[in-house]
Amino acid sequence: MILGARQVGKTYIIDKFARENYKNYFMINLFERSDILEIYQSDVSAEEKYQKLKILLDFDLEAEDSILFIDEIQESEKMIADLKFFCERHPKMNIICAGSLLGVKLKRNYSCRSKSCR
């Protein structure tokens, strides 16, 4: 997960890295993919979301020499939460994420647990 200020080149450098270092590369920009946001807004299990994502993208997320780049991941708090699931249940999956104001969203979600903070 890449954290950083807005408009400093996070997307550019991740895209360049993925193209130069992986044979198979798929990029998702969550500002442009309401269909993916809908999957992660549903109340199905993390595994079901993962399977739906694979079908929707038509991309083998665990294929050798493959990487998935999720840009603007702050648009889906549930997808952020599922990153741990990806790592634990699908260890062959290479994934990199970035987003504007992501540090602010993560701090709000994980350091503040009372209802008054939200």
75-100 tens-digit pLDDT: 999 999 999 998 899 999 999 999 88
Please write the tens of the pLDDT for every residue from 8-38. Answer: 899 999 999 999 999 999 999 999 999 999 9
Count of C-beta atoms within a 10 Å radius of residue 46: 17
* Number of structural domains the chain divides into: 1
In a domain, 102, yes or no: yes
Give a yes or no: residue 117 inside a domain. Answer: no
Cα separation, 20 vs 95, whole angstroms: 15
pLDDT tens-place string over residues 38-59 = 999 999 999 999 999 999 999 9
- Has this prediction a pTM greater than 0.95? no
- The per-residue pLDDT for 5 is 77
Domain carrying residue 45? 10-110
How many whole angstroms separate alpha carbon 63 and alpha carbon 107? 33
Q: Is residue 76 part of a domain?
A: yes
User: How far from 117 is each of 13, 80, 108, CA to CA, in Å?
Assistant: 34, 19, 8
